[in-house]
Structure 1
Amino acid sequence: MTPQEFDAFYAASFSRLTGQLYAMTGDWSEAQDVVQEAFVRAWDRRRALSLDEAPEAWIRTTARRLAVSRWRRLARGLHLAGRHHRHEPPAVEPPGEEHLVLVAALRDLPEAQRSAVVLHHMCDLSIEQVAAETGAGLSAVKSRLARGRAALAAQLGDQHPTSEEGQLRV
């Protein structure tokens, strides 16, 4: 991938990827940080990346793994000073109430279920693609999706987190 292609790829996908990671992490600042770090790592290997080989999936997987690594480090109490505070998001139109309710409900799901639901319903990945990105088997992904959707339905009650097409909206 040439530097110009990489710049175009970055411009076209940074916001979408940040929104997806926000849904997974529930923290806007963390989502921005891990997506940015994933792009830095991709820049170093841009010659090996191809627009035909789903570089967005590589960025999303790398960012998700970075977020999980940070969570583990925080859980062990080995976080660096200043990494755990939240920064103000940039001045953009705030998310709607439906979005906030959905992200809050997603936060309560176990990480494996949350990742499966977000990747399948928000990133429009097939079950096979979710399995490849998460390293889980097809039956595990199907189980995580079923349990995640059931938990979301129970949490959201009469609220409708899906559009007419059945896709979760963020």
Structure 2
Amino acid sequence: MNAPGIAVRPTSASAALTRTPRLRVVSATDSASSAERSFDEFYAANVRGITVQIYAYFGNISDAQDVVQEAFCRAYPRWETLRGYDDPVAWVRRVAWNLATSKWRRMRTAMKFARKQREEHIPGPGPDHVALTEALRTLPDRQRRAVVLHYLADQSVAEIAEREGVAPGTVKSWLYRARNALAERLTDTPSGEVNDA
């Protein structure tokens, strides 16, 4: 008794006539696996040659391998149709060349764009900037925020007071204390109170 989906066939006509025939088990998936084996053989026989051609075009082996792999990936689901072609390699080669051309155009466009961009050399922070940054770090949070908002973000005392939820006089006090603390840290000799300019 045979398992479902499995046919038992004799391997030759003479074996079919004998009492103990030599049998070959054929599963329902044999045709699919033979197609896969056929594609594997097709791939193994042609991948190198197509890769060499695309590499000569690109000049970069990894790009060539990527393009050829993509071409074979596109061929695999179409293999039942392609295997009937006179020259299935020509189809894969054409797809690989089309992919290579598209990739080359994108790379060329990106290179043109990169060449048009001006390279700007921005100098590193000077000693004054470093000293100011260090001095600002020593201030209490609210004073530091008030100094940054007032002097760097150009916000008025009233805007800072509204943002912080305090009276304008409090913001003026923070700014006064922050200026004095910064003046002491940023000058070589301790100074007295700094007047609001």
Same fold (TM over 0.5): no
Which structure ranks higher in relative contact order (CA pairs < 8 Å, sequence separation ≥ 6)?
1
The TM-score, its normalising length taken from structure 2, stands at: 0.37
The TM-score, its normalising length taken from structure 1, stands at: 0.42
